[in-house]
Amino acid sequence: MTKSNLSDFLVLVTIENKPYVSDPEGETILRDLVVKGGYSNIKSVRSTKNLKMIITAKSKSVAEESVRKMCKELRIFNPVISNCSVKAMLGNADNVTK
């Protein structure tokens, strides 16, 4: 495969605790929004960890699968307590800082 067949993709990885796992950070933010901020219409807050990566790949699906595999193999998240979602889009390094 030549370099010209490859594209840069911005890949967004979201790691979130599974619904049955407590989220103290989300609970604190919710409490502050409701009690200190007066936002009584907010019913729930869950915190997440987000990663942005630039990856060179043949296609969007190849980029997503590559990052999904990397996250599992390197234990970027704990699959027992967390869910990991991966979304790729055409992008470049400029997108990461925006």
- Residue-wise pLDDT for 8-63, tens only, equals 999 999 999 999 999 999 999 999 999 999 999 999 999 999 999 999 999 999 99
CA distance 9 to 26: 30
CA distance 76 to 90: 23
β-partners of residue 14 are 50, 85
pLDDT on residue 4: 73
- Residue-wise pLDDT for 57-94, tens only, equals 999 999 999 999 999 999 999 999 999 999 999 876 56
CATH classification code of 3-20+48-96: 3.30.1280.10
Q: Which two structure tokens, joined as six digits, stand for 68?
A: 């999904």
Question: 84, 76 in Cβ contact below 8 A?
Answer: yes
